[in-house]
Amino acid sequence: MSSSKVEKEPKGAQGSEGTKESEGAQRSGQAQLAKGATRSDWALRSGGTARSAWAHRHLSALLVGLLLIVFALALFIGRYPKPGFLNPAALVSDPLARQIVLNSRLPRMLGAVLLGLVLGGAGASLQAVFGNPLVDAGFLGVSQGAAFGAAVALVLGLRAYSLIAVLAFGMAVLALALSLWLAERFRYGGQILRLILAGLAVSAFFSSLLAMMKYVADPLSQLPDIVFWTMGSMVPMGWKRLESSAPIALAALAVLYAMRWRVNLLSLDDTVSHSLGIRPGVERKIVSVAAAAGVGVMTAVCGVVGWVGLVVPQIVRAIDGPDGRSVLPRSMLGGAIFVLVSDTLARSLFSGEIPLGIVTSLFGALSFAILLTMRKVELAR
């Protein structure tokens, strides 16, 4: 039973059978090379070129560096005192500038980073454990549930933002629970299909309730608030809200990060992961709940910010393969950069604030379309 024995035997068996197989093996090897060459565009890592190997090893460091640079720049970009770049010296000389940067921009930008980390990480891990590269961070009804909760608060005239956030988070949790409950009761398909279908049904249910809220809302005072909220914005993010949402978001991030290798196993067929001694049903739920809690708590404050969780993991996988050990942390960092840049544009591009969700959807949909035309969305086999 030693390894050397195992090494020898099959080779010996092949060798004794003459040249037929070795010819076959050669032929398939050549076919393989030809195939590899034509597919090198969508399988960057397979080529093992110096560039992609280098990028693979240092991508995390590059992303952290990029995030820090973007963060440092964005801190001084805005509309005070005039649109454009704020002279860092003003932090010392101008108390109002200091006030704006430290108490408004800084928490808002930290919030954007946290939102991006959560959306990227949730998207990457959910896509892995559902074996579906087209799953978004807010599926399982979380986004639509939160949007409905916020709309209810606004229609009831609860203007206090903390009440809106509490109701939104409560509805997100309810939507998640409903999806999980429904998936258990579906009598159709395996666990993955049932959860995706349940998420679809619950999302549709809550978006119709949201539409109902929009219909009954006062078109002059309440409707604009609901519409603005559902388009997502970092405006409400201040130190206080950051402090209240960060613990849950960070806990969710920690769980997802800890499972960065485990999600690979969950992406395999359930029969295989069962044979490897894990319980895919239970572990898939742990990932789903962690992801939904993180997305829910951030959505409760910032509204629905779409496409980040869908597109960022796709881009990361296209660059350096689908292994969760690299995809998860890099999707988090990529998501943070994506949201931070989008939010900086949203608040400084025009004299008025553009809803963040519009910017992320615009860039997200564009890069998604480009990605697909470049055949970088991998649906192997």
CB of 302 to another protein, least distance (A): 30
Q: Is 84 helix (H, G, I), strand (E, B) or coil?
A: strand
Crossing angle of helices 356-373 and 324-348, rounded to 10°: 130
CA distance 291 to 118: 8
Residue whose token pair is 């933002």: 161
CA–CA gap between residue 54 and residue 52 (Å, rounded): 5
Sign of CA dihedral 288, 292, 293, 294: positive
Where on the chain is the footprint of another protein (CB under 8 A)?
1-3, 5-7, 9-14, 17, 20-21, 24-25, 28, 31-32, 35-36, 39, 43, 45-46, 48, 128, 131-133, 258-262, 264-265, 267-269, 271-279, 317, 321-323, 325, 378-381
Least Å from the CB of residue 46 to another protein: 5
Residue 118 contacts residue 295 (beta carbons within 8 Å): yes
Nearer to another protein, 135 or 172 (CB): 135
Taking the complex as a whole, the smallest distance from the CB of residue 260 to another protein amounts, in Å, to 8
- Please report which helix (H) or strand (E) contains residue 85, including its range: strand 84-85
Question: Considering the complex, what minimum distance in angstroms separates the CB of residue 255 from another protein?
Answer: 10
Q: With contact defined as beta carbons under 8 Å apart, do 260 and 107 qualify?
A: no
Q: How far is the CB of 24 from another protein (least distance, A)?
A: 3
Three-class SS string for 308-367? HHHHHHHHHHHHHCCCHHHHHHHHHHHHHHHHHHHHHHHHHCCCCCCCHHHHHHHHHHHH
User: Between residues 128 and 150, which has the closer beta carbon with respect to another protein?
Assistant: 128
Nearer to another protein, 259 or 340 (CB): 259
Q: Shortest approach of another protein to residue 197 CB, angstroms?
A: 17
Cβ proximity to another protein: between 52 and 299 the closer is: 52
* Two tokens, residue 83: 């649109």
Residue 98 or 274: the one with the smaller Cβ distance to another protein is 274
User: Is 141 in contact with 199 (CB distance < 8 Å)?
Assistant: yes
Q: Which two tokens stand for residue 125?
A: 């891990």
Shortest Å, Cβ 25 to another protein:
8
